[in-house]
Amino acid sequence: RFVYGWSNLGNTQVALGTLDPADESYTTAIDLCKESLQQEAGIGVRQCSDLYLLFLNRGCLRLNNGQPKQALSDLLQADVLRGRPDAIVLQNLARAKELNGQYSSADRDYTVAISMTANEVNPFWLRSALVKLQIGDIKGGYDLLKRVENRFPEAPEVRAASSVFLTASGDQTAGQQKFLEIPDRQRANYSDESYMTNTISWPPAALSTLSKVTTAVGDGSAI
């Protein structure tokens, strides 16, 4: 019943940046997959076996399309359907929980996802570090960020996050120096409200701390 045709169409639409049509394609695939699962498989009939993946794909799309509540619903469903810990599901579920203000739960999911990818530093570890800052675990967050910094030392967002942890740890001078390592044009993003709240969507504690840094160096504040 064309489940995978609709799913593949959704993947193509995401690659082309047409997110609303992709959402519709994934939704059609999900509905057809559910219908398939309610029917008995006949000879030569392929039953849909990837419903969790369809919810994961739509949830990830919605994370990037300004629909955090709907994304959280999809990714919770993907997690249940997966039936076992899955690093890809958990890191996206953690992100959805983070965007919905569920920081403690997000921290737990990020921690499990990191434990499953511990031999390879991933960019989502930075998100986990900032969530730890949000819940008051400055040391744990900074220890994690240092591993990201070792892997991506020149990335602007990593330098900005490092400046935040230095400042939160009591050394604002070092935080300002780290922040000024970011090239001027890229550094301007971190005093831009739309970029900070919509594009990278840092948690409130990180935004507040960064605001102290950007104000101190004369760049203004994003909040």
SS3 letters for 115-145? HHCCCCCCCHHHHHHHHHHHCCCHHHHHHHH
pLDDT at 46: 61
Alpha-carbon distance of 140 to 114, in angstroms, equals: 13
The yes-or-no verdict on residue 222 having pLDDT over 90 is: no
pLDDT at 23: 97
**CB of 126 closer than 8 Å to CB of 161:** yes
Q: Read off the pTM.
A: 0.91
pLDDT tens digits for range 19-50: 999 999 999 999 999 988 887 555 455 678 88
Q: Return the higher-pLDDT residue of 118 and 22.
A: 22
Average pLDDT rounded to a whole number, residues 68-93? 97
The yes-or-no verdict on residue 102 having pLDDT over 80 is: yes
Average pLDDT rounded to a whole number, residues 109-131? 94
